[in-house]
Amino acid sequence: MSDPIDDLLDAAESGKSIIKNRDILHFTYIPDTILHRKNEQEQVTQSLLPILKQSRPSNLLVYGKPGTGKTLVVKKVLSKIQERVERSNFPIKLVYSNSKNETTLYGLLVSLGRQLGLEQDELPSNGLAISEVFKRLLSKIEGGKLNAIFVIDEIDYLAQLVVKTGKDILYQLTRANEQLKQGSLTMVGISNDLTFKEKLDPRVISSLGEEEIVFTNYNVEQIKKILEERINESFIENSIEEPALNLCAALAGGEHGDARRAIDLLRVSGELAERQQSDKVTIEHVREASLKIEENKEEASLKSYPLHEKLVIIAIMKVNGSSTGEIYSSYKNLCKALGKDELTQRRITQMLSEIELSGIISGRLVHQGIHGRTKKYKLAISSEMIKKSFKDDLSLQDIV
């Protein structure tokens, strides 16, 4: 009798592999050629050029929807400048950090400090006041007469960290240069939240946005070209059928113009094809991959909800299509079963609107004659998906 594990291992050893280099399909890979972004590359370079002449560039804000090449272009410009810096021995420090990867403002500042060359004993990983950390960053710049550029990617997350700690750190960072007697500091912020600016203090906007560069969405044709480049490097020849490529481009390009999504779709399609021992990626693989990616997204967003949001979602699952009042009763029962204190109906009503925005449930206003109006909610995803997503949550196991 065949062994299921051996079968798979055999297949992997002898089997068809159509992806020749998986790393190239990873989102951190920096391709040699950046297509369709000549202007943007020039603009970012122009804006940072003064650093090579040892003078201070303006602060810069880079904007654009997700997957439009912002991180890629900025990183590429940084690495090209870095190459020249190394040859010239100028005291220039280019520092990149992504605020999404940090859970605290302190962590973010330490990551910037480490890249400036501050060791643990000069800048401990915790325990100082934020203002003190900030001071040490500045004195490092002054001491070394450094010309520093701090790139803060996904800066909207920093804005959130800042809200929590209540500090005016963004403002201080963007104005830090004025405090420096020697050296200089330039801030480059990158954001894909187009409403980000509205949320900022006007003083921060005016200092951070000394210069602004906007990245527009890619169209379907442009996405297709980007995919073709990537395919050449990462897949063996002729392993993607033309209609499959077109569908990838159409799905990712049509809606959002998002190159990351397109490349993800390509990678997952390729993996599905390999798993099915197919020597070509077909349109069906792309369809299947697209579904799978959507499902993974739903699952991740369900898992990320706090407890009471999860309870509300389970409550709806139990009384699908009911009014706010009925959902609230169902939710209260769940709280009782778990021995948790319930939140007020007002809070739950508000929560329902928030969850609706995420697309997991959908609401409909119903008029009930003299009783006025009520809103009825039903699930917009399958209850299997909810069970699957919550099954690892120990506190929920008994009620799902």
Ligand X SMILES: Nc1ncnc2c1ncn2[C@@H]1O[C@H](COP(=O)(O)OP(=O)(O)OP(=O)(O)O)[C@@H](O)[C@H]1O
List of residues contacting ligand X (CB under 6 A): 27, 31, 34-37, 64, 66-72, 192, 226, 259-260, 263
Min dist. Cβ of residue 34 to ligand X (A): 5
- Among all chains, which residue has been given the structure tokens 């949550």? 393
Question: How are beta strands 322-323 and 361-367 bridged, if at all?
Answer: unpaired
Q: Is 217 helix (H, G, I), strand (E, B) or coil?
A: coil
Q: What whole-number distance in Å separates Cα of residue 310 and Cα of residue 288? A: 28
Comparing CA positions, the residue from 100, 97, 72 lying closest to residue 230 is 72
Residue 97 site contact among Mg ion, ligand X, none (CB < 5 to 8 Å, cut-off depends on kind): none
Task: Look at residue 282 and give the partner it binds from Mg ion, ligand X, none, a contact being a CB closer than 5 to 8 Å depending on partner kind.
Answer: none
In the complex, minimum distance from the CB of residue 225 to Mg ion, in angstroms, rounded to a whole number: 20
Which residue number, 64 or 113, has a Cβ lying nearer to ligand X? Answer: 64
**Beta carbons of 180 and 142 less than 8 angstroms apart:** yes
Binding partner of residue 318 among Mg ion, ligand X, none, CB under 5 to 8 Å per kind? Answer: none
Which of ligand X, Mg ion, none lies near 209, with the C-beta cut-off 5 to 8 A by kind? Answer: none
Centre a 10 Å sphere on the Cβ of residue 399 and count the other Cβ atoms it contains.
Answer: 16
Q: Which is nearer to ligand X, 97 or 184 (CB)?
A: 97
Q: Which residue minimizes CB distance to Mg ion? A: 71
User: Which positions touch Mg ion (CB under 5 A)?
Assistant: 71
- Spatial distance between the Cα atoms of 246 and 287, rounded to a whole number of angstroms: 12
Distance (Å, rounded) from C-alpha 13 to C-alpha 322? 53
Q: Which is nearer to ligand X, 152 or 314 (CB)?
A: 152
Instruction: Collect all residues with Cβ–Cβ distance below 8 Å to 213 and sequence separation of at least 6.
Output: 40, 43, 44, 47, 60, 61, 62, 63
Closest CB 35 distance from ligand X, rounded Å: 4
Q: Min. distance of Cβ 189 from Mg ion in angstroms?
A: 12
Nearer to Mg ion, 71 or 186 (CB): 71
What distance lies between CA 240 and its chain's CA centroid? 28
Binding partner at 37 among ligand X, Mg ion, none, C-beta below 5 to 8 Å by kind: ligand X
CB of 227 to ligand X, least distance (A): 9
Residue whose CB is less far from Mg ion, 67 or 183: 67
H or E stretch at 92: strand 92-98
Per the DSSP assignment, residues forming a β-bridge with 378 are 362
Q: Between 155 and 281, whose beta carbon lies closer to ligand X?
A: 155
The residue behind tokens 């073709």 is: 228
Q: Amino acid identity of 302?
A: L
What are phi and psi for residue 64, nearest 5 degrees? 160, 160
Q: Choosing among ligand X, Mg ion, none, which partner's interface includes residue 400 (Cβ < 5 to 8 Å by kind)?
A: none
Q: CA torsion angle for 194, 200, 204, 207 (degrees, to 10)?
A: 20
Strands 373-379 and 322-323: antiparallel
Selection from Mg ion, ligand X, none that 226 binds (CB < 5 to 8 A by kind) is: ligand X
Nearest distance, CB of residue 154 and ligand X, angstroms: 6
| Beta bridge mates, 148 | 93, 185
CB of 154 to Mg ion, least distance (A): 6
CB-nearer residue toward ligand X: 68 or 184? 68
- Residue 75 Cβ, how far from ligand X at the closest point, in Å? 8
Residue 52 interface partner, choices ligand X, Mg ion, none, CB cut-off 5-8 Å depending on type: none
CA 184 to chain centre: 30
| Residue with Cβ nearer ligand X (116 or 231) | 231
